[in-house]
Chain A
Amino acid sequence: MRLFQDASYAFIQQRKRAYVISAIVLLVGIGAMAYNVATLGSWANYGVDFLGGSLVQVRFDGEMTAGELRDALGGAQSPPITRFGGEGAAEFVIRAPLDEDASITEVADGVEATLRANLPGRNFEVVRTELVGAKVGGELQQKALMAVLFSFLLTLAYLAVRFELRFGLAAVIATAHDILITLGFLALFRVEIALPTVAAILTILGYSLNDTIVVFDRIRENMNAKGARKTDPVALVNQSINETLPRTVLTSGTTLAVLVALLVLGGAVIRDFTLVLILGILIGTYSSIFVASPALIEIQKRWGVGGVSEKKPRPEPATV
């Protein structure tokens, strides 16, 4: 079986259209972040891990509705409740805010005691609790930011050494594009940001880079081939993307197949995590073709090689 053999799509010529699409998606995401800042007080729905607070997950024997549970926890004063797992599952996540003075363990104990008192005769099991002090939450937030920044810098440095600086720059632009869109998506759907979400974002970073590197590797190879000097850079990049297209489709396809299996069968604990990964892989594949490669062309046009008057400078060594 062969897919996209000898393809010759004019990807780079379509880049203006791709810019518009990316811009719209980015704007929607940034708009959602701004809206969240106005309504939630922060750009995304930070979970217990980052804000501090408590999460108590209870599993009931038999039927239980969110309304009944809310009444048991004090009706209007009830902390936010979300159903865990699909519709009909008698399992709920209760998120109670932190009291200033009380020790964090009192909050969760309080929730459990209230439930036992107000739902006599109902059997339930506390299957998970997460309690994070406000200070720890702040630190985790900082650490996550540091993790993303550092991997950004290190991969840029690596690419600058392995390729040339312009490749590194183009790759970073594409990766930043991917991460921004992912964050925008998280903001738009108010997906809860927990520690595994950060892991997912970093994985996307890795995957998106992986995809970009494969295309860049081919561009580099074609550039070094005989007679490449005379070829139009746009045609050369296009050729490279088309040559790697079968691989791009197949790898994305198999990875997506695995992730969809994880999404459908993997259970509620990792659903958000998997969703972020699927999204990231779609964006990463798109961006390596429509963002990274055009960015390389743009960089080359503006500062790059092949000018009429100037002598062709040697590629900058890594100076990151």
Chain B
Amino acid sequence: MFNSVRSRLIIVALVVVTAVWQLYSHKTRTGEWLKLGLDLQGGMHLVLEVDDPDGTMTAEARSDMIDRVDRIIRTRIDEFGVEEPLIQKVGGERLIVELAGIDDEDQAKGIVQRNAFLEFKLVLPTIDFEQALSRIDRAVVTSLGVDSIRALGRDVAGQEGDDLTDLLFGTDPAAATDSMTAVSDSAAAAAAAAADSAEAEANALRPFSSLLAFGDIEGAFLVAAEDRPIAEMFLAMPEVERAFPRDQIVLWGADLVSQAARNYYRLYVLEEDSFLTGEELEDATAGRDPQFNQSQVQFQLSRAGGRQFARFSGAHVGDFLAIVLDNEVMSAPVIRDRIGARGQIDMGQGTPLEEARDLALVLRAGALPARINIVEERTVGPSLGQDSIDQGSLAGLVGIVLVVFIMILYYRVAGLIAVGALAVYVTLVLGGLAGMNATLTVPGIAGLILSIGMAVDANVLIFERIREELAKGRVTRSAVDDGFEHALSAIVDANITTLITALILFQFGTGPVRGFAVTLSIGIVASFFSALFVTRSFFLAYLSGRKASDPISI
């Protein structure tokens, strides 16, 4: 008997430890104990639909439009600065975009609704740009100042972007202006000398070019992923832009490149003027060439676009062609031949078809920008969300204290056992929410509190039954066993019907209601385990030191 009680308690302990571990690993992974819904942490929930006022589009066309919008918003997601954006296609015709904790709604809406811009640019050899690098470095140094560059240079690696910005703009901005005035004020000899030394030092500093590595392909540099924010900041400075070679620009590649266990972004050097835009593109489809086992994208240009493309591609056979969506280079295939109105991009041997599909989607997205409407929008400010969290936790705490008080008052030691089982239950629910990465919403908190009521109910059913059996004059041990046995069918039925309701809510609900359904479902499963296994184990432990006929406190 003792063995069985011990093994039961060990199982309970294991389950609790697992739940706590789930919570803890969620905390270390995301920095939060639980993922909070938009109504709790603040944020924006948008539902987008294709604008089709005349109803002339087929369902397929609308679905394709939504895919394009989906693709475009995903490429723009960096602009939101959102940790874990949710972008989800629902019912084939709608797109749900959820952005947690954004500050500027109007900007977010603008980014979502902005049309995609697709262009084709020629990739240039990096030689000209390399010669301009020293000019660019100097431009960075003169506009930021030697001190801040040096402060930066020491810690280039391993610094977060935000910290760097702080570091740069937080340090004495006088450093930059000092050296400038010193240069213009030739009368002050001491100052001039300082300027000379500053200049010498400035030449030695290579703030921008030190970030660049030679590329894996001709026409692109590599920049380590962690250095990208600094490089972006340098590139955004007007002085730097003026130092570029004539008619050349640089744009980032969309994909991460892995080399020697480090992640890099490509920085492409491109001709400034694009020779073709998405307007001239009519269609793009992904396919597979069985002969060479490679994925391909076929595209179709307009007649005018075809002529332009033929002229251009004829002159640049062997060069790279950058496909640029919203100022990001999505792909840069090599031009093999003169291409007219119909072209084909080979993705290389063994490339999965998925990549070809994605590129085709990018091309289509830029070819015919979808007009979309926002059909539903919900925003919650962070202050309101914080209020809900504070009030919800206070209410939950008071509610739990009330339950604990009632149970112990009414059932004494057995009540204490129920409270212990309830504690296990709460841990399980929280661990389950964390483990499933479920989102906690305001109705979710209510569902949680309600399911505490349900968990108590199961205990009450059992205890009442034990009391009845004891009143009939049964021996303690068999009264307890019978109590659990007889209460079982009611507990099972009650839990299953509630589970049915929760599943239906999940099926038909959206957003917060879904959160409620998930919390309720997890709550029901946990309450089942807690009442039938945990309570019983605790009870057995309570009985283990006694004779079968000793009275118990219930």
Q: Give the residue name and chain of the B residue nearest to A273 (CB).
A: B446
- Per the bound structure, the CA–CA distance linking A191 and B509 in Å amounts to 20
Evaluate contact between A129 and B377: CB separation under 8 angstroms: yes
Stretch at the interface among A17-25, A39-47, A141-149, A308-316: A141-149
Instruction: Render A161-189 as a binary contact track against B, CB cut-off 8 A, 1 for contact.
Output: 01000000000000000000000000000
Chain A interfacial residues counted at CB < 8 A: 74
Is the CB of B443 closer than 8 A to any CB of chain A? yes
Cβ-neighbour of B460 out of A199, A209, A250 (below 8 A)? A250
Please name all residues of chain A whose beta carbon is closer than 8 Å to the beta carbon of B395 when the two chains form the complex. Answer: 261-262, 264-267
Q: Given A105-B377, A202-B504, A214-B490, is A159 in contact with B497 using a C-beta cutoff of 8 Å?
A: yes
Is the CB of B373 closer than 8 A to any CB of chain A? yes
Please name all residues of chain A whose beta carbon is closer than 8 Å to the beta carbon of B407 when the two chains form the complex. Answer: 254
- Per the bound structure, the CA–CA distance linking A266 and B449 in Å amounts to 11
Is the CB of A195 closer than 8 A to any CB of chain B? yes
Is the CB of A27 closer than 8 A to any CB of chain B? no
B294 → chain A closest CB, angstroms: 43
Evaluate contact between B375 and A135: CB separation under 8 angstroms: yes
Evaluate contact between B398 and A265: CB separation under 8 angstroms: yes
Is the CB of A305 closer than 8 A to any CB of chain B? no
Is the CB of A1 closer than 8 A to any CB of chain B? yes
- Per the bound structure, the CA–CA distance linking A261 and B489 in Å amounts to 31
- Size bin of chain B's contact surface: 35 or more
Evaluate contact between A103 and B442: CB separation under 8 angstroms: no
Instruction: Render B482-508 as a binary contact track against A, CB cut-off 8 A, 1 for contact.
Output: 000010011001101110111011011
Evaluate contact between B504 and A147: CB separation under 8 angstroms: yes
Please name all residues of chain A whose beta carbon is closer than 8 Å to the beta carbon of B374 when the two chains form the complex. Answer: 103-105, 131
Please name all residues of chain B whose beta carbon is closer than 8 Å to the beta carbon of A213 when the two chains form the complex. Answer: 490, 493-494, 497
Evaluate contact between B453 and A255: CB separation under 8 angstroms: yes
Instruction: Render B393-417 as a binary contact track against A, CB cut-off 8 A, 1 for contact.
Output: 0111011101100110110000000
Is the CB of A283 closer than 8 A to any CB of chain B? no
Q: Give the residue name and chain of the B residue nearest to A126 (CB).
A: B381
Evaluate contact between A125 and B402: CB separation under 8 angstroms: no
B400 → chain A closest CB, angstroms: 8
Evaluate contact between B380 and A265: CB separation under 8 angstroms: no
A-B contact count (CB 8 A): 225
Instruction: Render A268-300 as a binary contact track against B, CB cut-off 8 A, 1 for contact.
Output: 011001100100000000000000000000000
Please name all residues of chain A whose beta carbon is closer than 8 Å to the beta carbon of B49 when the two chains form the complex. Answer: 133
- Per the bound structure, the CA–CA distance linking A70 and B443 in Å amounts to 31
Stretch at the interface among B131-139, B155-163, B309-317, B511-519: B511-519
Chain B, 443-487, CB within 8 A of any chain A CB? 443, 445-447, 449-450, 452-454, 456-457, 460-461, 464, 467-468, 471, 486
Is the CB of A136 closer than 8 A to any CB of chain B? yes
Evaluate contact between B388 and A269: CB separation under 8 angstroms: yes
Instruction: Render B173-201 as a binary contact track against A, CB cut-off 8 A, 1 for contact.
Output: 00000000000000000000000000000
Please name all residues of chain A whose beta carbon is closer than 8 Å to the beta carbon of B409 when the two chains form the complex. Answer: 1
Is the CB of A226 closer than 8 A to any CB of chain B? no
Is the CB of A190 closer than 8 A to any CB of chain B? no
Evaluate contact between B504 and A151: CB separation under 8 angstroms: yes
- A contact set with B: CB distance below 8 Å: 1-3, 5-6, 57, 59, 103-105, 108-109, 125-133, 135-136, 140, 143-144, 146-147, 150-151, 154-155, 158-159, 162, 195-196, 198-199, 202-203, 205-207, 209-210, 213-214, 217-218, 221, 243-244, 246-247, 250-251, 253-255, 257-259, 261-262, 264-267, 269-270, 273-274, 277
Given A105-B374, A125-B383, A270-B388; 20 other pairs, CB 8 A cutoff: A1-B410, A126-B381, A133-B49, A140-B510, A143-B509, A151-B501, A151-B505, A195-B509, A205-B501, A210-B497, A210-B498, A221-B486, A244-B464, A246-B467, A250-B460, A251-B460, A258-B399, A266-B392, A267-B391, A269-B384
